[in-house]
Structure 1
Amino acid sequence: MRTASLVSLTALLAACGGSADQTPTATSDFDVKLTPVVEEAEWPWGMVFTPEGDLLFTEKEGGLKFVAGGEGTATPVSGLPDAYIEGQAGYMGITLDPDFETNRLVYISYSKGDDAANAAAVIKGRLSEDNSTLEDVTEIFWADPRDTAYHYGSRLQFANDGTLFVTLGEGFKYMKAAQDPKITHGSIVRINSDGSIPEDNPFADGKDGNPAVWSYGHRNVQGLYYDAETGTLYETEHGPKGGDELNIIKRGANYGWPVITYGVNYDGTVITEKTEMEGMEQPLTYWVPSIAPAGLTMLTSDVYPGWKGDLFTGGMNGPAGLELTRIDMEDGQVVGKESLFDGEYPIRDVIQGPDGHLYVATKDFDGIYRVDVVEAVAEEPDTK
């Protein structure tokens, strides 16, 4: 197994102009490999398994796809509205209703609008019994529009109380708007499954912020995981050049972008001299250089020895990207990070399947894979 080597602070500072994360490198006692399960997938974005073990996934341009048994040929699911497809815009996050077994409701985020005004929207619809159509599609949320096709966020996660979290990017060129909770740029919103606003949202009365906003000061959150056992919401978000983050999301909290960051502009110029400030949250860990983290899940199975309870996020780009990162967790804290498949695959999403294995979707045209343990080959006995 390939693991990331420790890079000197000086080299990191020279590469990205930010403060180096000093989290130790973690190692494992076994190797893993990627086994293809869906070979024809173009720009897969989000994945989810049904209780029956079938796989649903979105493609940025191709809409919704269904894979019987979670492995083999994908078939299209009709019924989705047309998306605004440009730049990073298209069909994105997906999740199932907590009562999917009885109501078969699927939730999908996609980009809606045109060049002049577009934003992430969330729809829900009923998956037909033959898995070919999304029926009775209803739009339940549409973020504040912008005139850019970049930084959408768009991960979806249900909480134990039935509310739905939706991540929203700040549109790249509107990064300062992430500090304004009155608009949805650079925020995580929390809504009910019908799109209405929960009464206990921090700005539910609309006086100091948008009623839907749960947290703000985010850049581009493309990883989201809700731990149902502890009620903890985790996210990974893209920094600029350096400064990707893993955060625990708290009600009404400000996560600092762009007032504080561990990264710099892509051209190397300084965004801010500050990496922390009173009233703004600090990440559990961050990445310098960047990996462009996407997708996030916690392993709850015993398939991989010693990994239970750890977080996993994909890496899509950047000097340290093209990987699956294991985030070694102990008592709610990050104690190490390990790079898996380093430099081989840009990974957009990672989830745990019903068989306890991790599944990853690559960013471009490579497909969807299962992460398998490499079995040790027994040595031939010495007969001499």
Structure 2
Amino acid sequence: MRLIFAGFVSALALSACSPGSAAAPATPEVSSDLEVTLTPVIEAEFPWGLAFLPNGDLLFTEKDGGLNYAAGGEGEATPVTGMPPALTEGQGGYFGIALDPDFETNRLIYVAYAQGTEADNGTAVVRARLSDDNTALEDMTEIFRADSRDTAYHFGGRLQFANDGTLFVSLGEGFKYMKDAQDPKITHGSLIRINSDGTIPADNPFADGVDGNPAVYSYGHRNIQGLYYDKTEGTLYETEHGPKGGDEFNIIKPGANYGWPVITYGVNYDGTIITEKTEKEGMEQPLTYWVPSIAPSGLTRLTSDVYPGWKGDFFVGGMNGPAGLELVRIRLENGVVTERENLFKDEYAIRDVAQSPDGHLYVATKDLDGIFRVDIAE
């Protein structure tokens, strides 16, 4: 294995003059001996979220095309009817999908999407029963709607269930409302936690509604597009977009402030400074960060032995930016990122990553390339 230490010179130079908590360390980049390749399995247009059924069938959303079903996780996909209309302007559309923890008995699924118009919209979550023949959604109920915005950017939209049956929903800050991410009374730029019926868990950090929105679990986020709950650890992980640089990989803590836009390792798209600070007391530091950006989207942790030596590692899609168009493997040991490896560099913009029941990794590409299985190269 070849080991290279990433410099992140510009970001670390900023952090050196900033008071407060310790800055995130540079991460060693590696090149492993295991070679993998991408095998196309499903044609799809702008796929967004992947969710495998227990038998290996696949449900996936398309940004503009709603919900789809593919038997065996490959081959020709068929539409699943019944999704409500979505705002598909800008970054709007159909987003993340999650199966109910008791899916095998109740067949309930949850889908996030952009609801409304360009002048009045927000991320919404619906719950519905997947019909026995996998062709339609039945008994649909809206269980959550974020605060309204008048911008079609930064929706978040990832979903993950915890061991206690509560549902996490990621929300973006709407881009031009970045300052609202520091107000836990507003859902912009937050991670929310609800029960599966949309009610509020009594142990949420702001459940009483005094200091924050009862649904808010953490805040100070920019645009979370990767979310993974580790059922063994009982830990929630996320990846979120920075501006130009400063993409992050975090552990989520209840009630915590993740700093945007008061602290960041990135700058505005035109190169101007958002803030001089990369750390501040009372604000969380990422486990690792990217400068330049990869636009991280999709996050999973490998629990199988399919890829020798990689069990327990995280996998993050990269969609864009100077360092994007890749799948990133991350090794985390005792709360510290010890390795980071770029796979499939410059091949595809990857929107989502998921593990199938047989242990293989699958990736959904951001554009028109479709869905691929990650195979060991022969």
**Which TM-score tier does this pair reach, normalised by the shorter chain?**
over 0.9
Shift of 1:6: 5.7
Query: 1:226–1:7: structure 2 CA closer, same or farther, 3 Å change rule?
Result: closer
Aligned counterpart, 2:206 = 203
| Corresponding position: 1:351 with 2:351 | no
Query: Are the equivalent residues in 2 in contact too, given 1:21–1:288 (CA < 8 A)?
Result: no
Within 5 Å, give how 1:51-90 maps onto structure 2. Answer: 51-90=54-93
What does 1:352-367 correspond to in 2, within 5 Å? 352-367=355-370
TM-score normalised by length of structure 2: 0.95
Q: Tell me, yes or no, if structure 1 residue 319 matches structure 2 residue 313.
A: no
Structure 1 vs Structure 2 CA RMSD: 1.8
2:4/2:28 contact within 8 Å kept: no
2:100: which partner in 1?
Answer: 97
Assess, with a 3 A threshold, how the Cα gap between structure 1 residues 287 and 182 changes in structure 2: closer, same or farther. Answer: same
Match of 1:379 in 2: none
Counterpart residue identity of residue 185, structure 2: K
Q: Say if 2:14 and 2:277, in contact at 8 Å, map to a contact too.
A: no
Seen in structure 2, the aligned counterparts of structure 1 residues 98 and 46 have a Cα distance that, compared at 3 Å, is same
Q: Deviations over 1:119-161 (max 9, x none)?
A: 0000010000110001111100000000000000110000000
Aligned counterpart, 1:113: 116
Q: CA deviation at 1:18?
A: 8.4
Q: 2:40 aligns with which of 26, 36, 40?
A: 36
Which ranges of structure 2 fall in alignment gaps of 5 or more residues? Answer: 17-23
Question: In the alignment, is residue 188 of structure 1 matched against residue 202 of structure 2?
Answer: no
Aligned positions of 1:286-305 closer than 5 A? 286-305=289-308
For 1:299 and 1:110, the matched residues in 2 are separated by 27
Could you tell me how far apart the structure 1 residues matched to 2:251 and 2:370 are? 30
2:287 corresponds to which of 284, 289, 310: 284
Alpha-carbon deviation of 1:331? 2.3
The residue aligned with 1:255 is 258
Distance (whole Å) between structure 2 residues aligned to residue 292 and residue 108 of structure 1 = 22
Q: 1:140 aligns with which of 140, 143, 149?
A: 143
Contact kept in structure 2, 1:18 and 1:243, CA below 8 Å:
no
Question: 1:51 is paired with a residue of what secondary structure?
Answer: coil
Amino acid across the alignment from 1:363: K
Alignment check: 8 A CA contact 1:216 1:254 kept: yes
Deviation, 1:24, is 0.6
- Residue 22 of structure 1 deviates from its aligned partner by 2.0
For residues 212 and 26 of structure 2, the distance between their equivalents in structure 1, rounded to whole angstroms, comes to: 36
Q: 1:280 to 1:227 in 2, by over 3 A?
A: same
- Asked if the contact 1:167–1:189 (Cα under 8 Å) also holds between the matched residues in 2, the reply is yes
In 2, the alpha carbon distance for the partners of 1:201 and 1:225 equals 19
- Could you tell me how far 1:13 is from its partner in structure 2? 6.3
Letter in 1 for 2:362: Y
2:338 equivalent to 1:335: yes
Deviation at 1:7, TM superposition (A): 5.9
TM-score where L is the length of structure 1 = 0.94
- Paired residue for 1:151, among 139, 151, 154? 154
Shift of 1:27: 2.3
Match 1:244 to one of 243, 247, 250: 247
Q: What amino acid does structure 2 have at the position aligned with 1:187?
A: S
Secondary structure, aligned partner of 1:194: coil
Contact persistence 1:4–1:339 (CA under 8 A): no
- Looking at structure 2, the residues matched to 319 and 18 of structure 1 have their Cα atoms a distance apart, in angstroms, of 22
How many pairs align? 371
Larger Rg: 1
Alignment of 1:213 onto 2:198: no
Pair 1:161 & 2:164 matched: yes
1:150 to 1:4, Cα distance in 2 relative to 1, 3 A: farther
Deviates more, 1:160-169 or 1:111-120: 111-120
Question: What secondary structure sits across from 1:153 in the alignment?
Answer: coil
2:14/2:278 contact within 8 Å kept? no
Q: Retained in 1: the 8 A contact 2:4–2:29?
A: yes
Match of 2:19 in 1: none
Q: CA deviation at 1:5?
A: 6.5
Equivalent pair of 2:15/2:277 in contact (CA under 8 Å)? no
- 2:253 alignment partner, SS class: coil
Where in structure 1 are there 5+ consecutive unaligned residues? 376-384
1:26 maps to: 30
2:21 maps to none
Structure 1 residues 71-80 or 326-335, which shifts more? Answer: 326-335
Give me the identity figure in percent.
Answer: 73
Per the TM alignment, residue 215 of structure 1 is displaced from its structure 2 partner at its CA by: 0.2
CA shift at 1:103, angstroms? 0.3
Q: Deviation of residue 214 (structure 1)? A: 0.2
Asked whether the equivalents of residues 4 and 342 of structure 1 are also in contact (C-alpha less than 8 Å), the reply is no
d(CA) in 1 for partners of 2:355, 2:368: 21
